Structure formats: C-alpha cells, structure tokens
Amino acid sequence: MVGEVKKLISIQDLLKNVLKDNVISIEQNKGYLDVLVPTEKLVESAKKLKDSGFDHVKSVTAIDYIAKKQFKITYHISSYLNEELSKYIIGLSTIINRDNPHLPSLSRIWVSAEFQEREVYEFFGITFDDHPDLRLLLLTPVIAALKPLRKDYVVKEESDDIEVDYVAYNTNKWW
Amino acid sequence: MESSTSGSVVPHLPGMEVSELSKNTYEVYIGPAHPGSGHMRIIVEVDGDIMVRVDPDIGFVHRTMEKLAEGRDWIKNIPLFERMAILDACNITLPYVEAVEKLLGTEPPERARYLRTLLCEINRIASHLYGMGIFGVFLGHSTLYMWAFGDREVFIDLAEQMSGARLTHSYPVFGGVRRDIPDDFPEGARKATRYMRNRLNEYAKIFLNNPNIRSRLENVGVMSKNLATELGIVGPNLRASGVRYDVRLNEPYEAYGELEFEIPVFEEGDSLARAWARVEEIRQSLNIIDKVVDWLEKHPRENFMHEKFWKTAPKLYKDVYTGQIDYAGKYRVKLMPLFASLKVPPGKAFARVEAGRGEMVYYVESDGKDVPYRVRVVSPSFRNVIAFKYLMPGHRLMDLPAIYGSFDYFPPEWDR
C-alpha cells in the first residue's frame, strides 16, 4: 500500500515537472489521473506529454455539463513502449464553453485520436480546429444535426417521428 | 501516379463536351452489404490495381449505445453493452462492471474473480476462432471456416454450461458473477482444452503453413512497431508488430495477477504474424483455462457474490444460485433485489481489460442517480479501424481482404 502511494506521488511529480505551470489541477480519479489544462495550452501540453513517452490516445471523451454550460473534453492517454508509464492512464482534460464549442485538434500530435475526434464532432457538434479530416464518421447528417449525445437531446420512445433537418440533408453529400 | 491530360487547351467541338481529367484513378466501393462479416464499407481509390487512398466508412450498424446507456438503470446496461460483440460478451461488459465496482467500492470475492477469468478466456478463444473462420472466408479457404466455426461450438457449449446462455451471458454483475459452475464442468473443460490443442496443430498444417495462404499473407500489410504505436492499434494486432502490451500483463485485473501465462509477441508485423498471434493466444488461453479450473476445483464453492448484494436475496434465490436446486427446474429466479434500486455514488471511473480483439475501455461518470451520467465506450475494433486508412495504401487491391481479415475487424463492435 505504501509503495502504491509512493508511485502515485511520483507520477504526479512527473506530470508537474513536464507540464509545469500549464496545469490547473491534478485530480486522482478511480482508474486514471485527471489533468486539467486551459484550452489555449492544450496543444503545448500534449506535445510535452508525447515527448515524455505517452504515445497513444485510448479514448476521446466529451461530457456535457449542461447546468454549468460547459463541455469537458478528456483525452485518456497512456504508453505502449514505456512499460512503467503503461501502468498509468492520464486524462488530459480541458473545459470549453457550450456556445460555439471548439478546441484545437490533437490529431496531428496523436494520430490515434483522429477518428475519435471525428466521433465527438458529430455527436456533440464540437469543432476541432486544424483537424486533418473533420467529417462525419458514424452518423448521417440528419441525425448529426441533432447533436444526439448532448444532454438537451432527449431520446423519444418512437424514433419514427424524428424531425428531419432537410437543409442539412440536402447540403451535405454523405452517401 | 497522376497522369493528367491538362497542359494543352481543351478543344471545343460542336455537340461535344470534354472535361478535364485530373486523376487517372477509380473509386471502388466495397460494401456495405457484408464484405465478410458485418456491415461496413471501404471506399478505395485505385490507380490500376494499386490502392491510393482508403477511407473506411463505418456506422452502418450504429445503435447509439452511449446515449441509450444514459437512460437505463445501471444493471440494465450490462445486457445492452453485450450487444456490441455477442461472441465476446464477458470481455466486453467486464470493464463496465469493473468501473461501476470502483465507484461503488465493492470488491468481488476471490472465487468470482476466477470465474470471470474463466469465462473471459473461453470467450477469447471463441472470438479468435470466429475471427479466423471469417479470415478463411476472405481468402477463399472454406475449410478453415468450417473447422473454426465447428470448434468454436465447443467453447460456446462450455460458456453455456457456466452461464446458461450460449452467447449473451450477462455473467459478470456488480460485486461478483451470476452463478457458479456446475459440478461436472472441470471435466468437460479439460476435455475441451485437450481437443483444441490437437486441433491447433491441424490449423497450422491446413492454413498457416499452407503455401497458398502464406503467399497471400507473408509481407502483406506490414505494420512496424512505431506505426502500430502511433496509430494506437490494440490486441493481437499490436503484439504481432512487436509491442509487448497486454492489459492482463500491464495492469492485471481479476485473477490474472495470480496466474502464470505468456504473452505471444511477434516481430514481423505482417498479416501472417497477426494470424499466428491469434493461434498462439488460443494456446495460452487453453493453459489459463486449465489452471483456473484446477483452482476452482480445489477451493470450496462459496462466495461468488459480494456480501452487500448477496444478503438481499431470498432463500429460494440463494438455493438456486448455489446449485442446490436444479437451474432448469420449475423455479425461476431474478437478479439480486438490490440491483433494481442501485444508486451509484458520484464519481468518475476508468477501466480497461484485454478483450478478444484488444483493449476495451470504459469511462463511467455518475452523479449519484440510478442511471449513469455519461458512459464512454471505446471498443478494440474502433481503435483498429484507423489502420485501414494508413496501412492499406500502396498495396494491391487483392491484398485488401488479406489485410482486412487479418485485423479481425468486427463492425457491430466498433459501431456500438
């Protein structure tokens, strides 16, 4: 138990050394370490983390905090090649405004984030600036226009009476 | 690569329209009607028969599981997530159960951890055999397809004996597992592993060492160690490229920390290595099954459910769960009553396990209600699909099924 705590402190120290004053807060959650950085320092932090051995993205998650009018984007990152780091999962997070949501893309740093950022884009309507190929991935424009994973989209019992956004349907060539 | 007719002025002839051709390439649409197994489409741009651009177009079997999960009770999400890959059901739902257990603060008893491990390995073998069977179809090798699907039946039967269901087991639940193994299970399991070990040698003879198959697979779709890391590839595909990463090894969960097993790693990184990686993994899984069954036999049949949930069950339930009354008798029992009104304390949890196709990841957030606030699912096939885009260009069109099949793709899993 003592050893575990010691290790935990050392990974937190490592993150503080690497990211320095970019970090707003480091929070120990169940199964991962949540590192919150400001949106304008996201790319810089990602580059530093990649240089220190975190070589791939496991998951790109957006969470809709509708009461606070915020989105939280978390990149869960870890390492394949560095065996010591592969035991840890770091959640590189940033908070963005819910109106006109956009943040810099990390796909040019971690290629493994490319498809997952596309998924967040279509389900939440969050734009990733400077993404190499920002298109719809799973959904059709009709459904993507509804931004289905946002909290204000409520699933109806019957999906037949879904309101079709014909403008989106006609302007996007998706087939 | 790009032969162009531009340069000179295009003549305007009466009654004839000539448009400038920028590229001498064709677009080929493969799918979405079942190119092998599951609906997906690959849009390929070919120059002659060399693939220039590959765009995996997925989402044909998308079921909005993440959204549906936000409106269901915690326990009801287990059968929902199972539908991602019904042939790998225990592995697919296990990280969700683990993440919720982390939030609840309940640790499953030791016997439950071994039972989960057992079903995970049975599922892994079934999943690999399924993948190999489909791979055989891709390469026109229908014998392997028949063999693999026939042998998969052995392990599906084992899973049925354990859980009562052939495919969608819903076996791991919060705080433990649904029920214990029957008395005659260890004998059947040993018989199955003995049979499968012999069969694997036959597989090597008819498929992996077959000159026809080798000429299709060797040095095709070579993925270097760095490329695999960069793309975030998971599972046997990653280990076939020389990366020593397996969640069972790097962050042992359930009973894996107490068991001895090997992680097969190959250096070649081609389609043949990916096929071999699966065969070797089956061999290791068979060893694990033997060890777990030995352990289960030696230890008393008790405590496969956390006390917190167990004590809420009526006596009849307990008698049926522990095997004192026949399962298929006149009694029908439900899950522990506490599950129906379960409220999970607020918090955020992240869990990962090594499923059949690779690392399975869940992020679960609770705000203290009876439904999750957010569940993020990233399945192994979803992380592998990016390889098609970056790996296939430069190969011939005939190599597409070989590469596609070697990755053990499974559309329902990555579409969720």
Q: Is residue A17 in some structural domain?
A: yes
CATH number at residue A33: 3.30.460.80
Q: What is the pLDDT of residue B10?
A: 59
Tell me the domain boundaries of chain B: 65-391+399-415
On the question of pLDDT at A14 being above 60, the answer is yes
> Given this model, what pLDDT does residue B14 score?
66
The CATH number fitting domain B65-391+399-415, selected from 1.10.10.10, 3.30.70.20, 1.10.645.10, 3.40.50.300:
1.10.645.10
DSSP string computed for A47-67:
HHHHHTT--EEEEEEEEEETT
Domain presence at residue A37: yes
Q: What angle separates helix B89-104 from helix B110-138, to the nearest 10 degrees?
A: 150
Residues of B in contact with A112 (CB under 8 A): 230-232, 383, 386
At A68, list the tokens: 């606070």
Is residue A42 assigned to a domain? Answer: yes
Mean pLDDT for all residues in chain B: 83
Domain assignment present for residue A139? The answer is: yes
Task: Band the pLDDT of A9: cuts 50, 70, 90.
Answer: low
CB contacts < 8 A, A to B, total 101
Write out the two tokens for A154.
């409520």
Interstrand relation of A32-36 and A90-97 (parallel, antiparallel or unpaired): parallel
β pairing state of A56-65 and A70-78? antiparallel
Centre a 10 Å sphere on the Cβ of residue B164 and count the other Cβ atoms it contains: 14
Q: Quick one: closest CA in B to A59, which residue?
A: B378
Chain B residues 310-369 with CB within 8 Å of chain A: 347-352, 359, 361, 363, 365
ipTM of the complex: 0.82
Q: pLDDT tens string for chain B (416 positions)?
A: 444 444 456 566 666 565 555 677 888 888 777 656 678 788 888 888 888 888 888 888 888 888 888 888 888 888 888 888 888 888 899 999 989 988 888 888 888 889 899 999 999 999 999 888 888 888 888 888 899 889 999 999 888 888 878 888 888 888 888 877 877 888 888 999 999 988 888 888 888 888 888 888 888 888 888 888 888 899 899 889 888 888 888 888 888 888 888 888 988 888 889 988 988 899 999 999 998 988 888 887 777 788 777 777 777 777 777 666 665 556 666 777 777 778 888 989 999 898 888 889 999 998 888 888 989 999 888 888 888 888 888 888 888 888 888 888 887 787 77
Range of the domain at A147: 2-155
Query: Is the Cβ pair B347, A30 closer than 8 Å?
Result: yes
In a domain, A13, yes or no: yes
Q: Domain for residue A168, yes or no? A: no
Q: Hey, of B98, B350, B360, B365, which one would you mutate to test binding to chain A, going by the most A CBs within 10 A of its CB?
A: B350
Is B348 within 8 Å of A29 when comparing Cβ atoms? yes
Q: Which two tokens stand for residue A4?
A: 């575990």
Looking at the structure of chain A, the number of domains it has is 1
pLDDT single digits (tens) B297-325: 888 777 778 877 777 777 777 777 766 66
Task: Say how far apart CA B410 and CA B412 lie, in whole Å.
Answer: 6
- Phi and psi, residue B55, nearest 5°: -125, 100
Torsion on CA atoms B221, B226, B230, B233, rounded to nearest 10: 50
Instruction: Please give the pLDDT value at position A143.
Output: 78
**Buried/exposed code over B116-153 (b: 16+ C-beta within 10 A; e: otherwise):** bbbbbbbbbbbbbbbbbbbbbbbbebeebbebbbebbe
Burial of A10 (0-12, 13-18, 19+ CB in 10 A): exposed
Summarised one tens digit per residue, pLDDT across range A112-144 is 888 889 889 988 888 888 888 888 888 888 778
Write down the residue that tokens 């433990």 correspond to: B176
- Taking CA atoms, A129 is separated from A36, A72, A102, A168, B267, in Å, by 19, 16, 7, 21, 37
CA distance A61 to B225: 26
Nearest to B415 among A32, A64, A138 (CB): A138
Find chain A residues with C-beta within 8 A of B383's C-beta.
58, 112
Q: How far is A148 from chain B (nearest CA, A)?
A: 7
Cα three-residue angle B251-B309-B350, rounded to 5 degrees: 30
Confidence tier at A75 by pLDDT (50, 70, 90): very high
* CA pair distance A124, A133, nearest whole angstrom: 17
Cα A8 to chain centroid distance, Å, stands at 23
Please give, rounded to a whole number of angstroms, the shortest distance from the CA of B150 to a CA of chain A. Answer: 33
Per-residue pLDDT band for A159 (boundaries 50, 70, 90) equals low
* Cα within 13 Å of Cα(B220), Cβ side: 22
Q: Count of alpha carbons within 13 Å of B412, Cβ hemisphere only?
A: 15
Helix locations, B10-109, DSSP H: 65-69, 77-82, 89-104
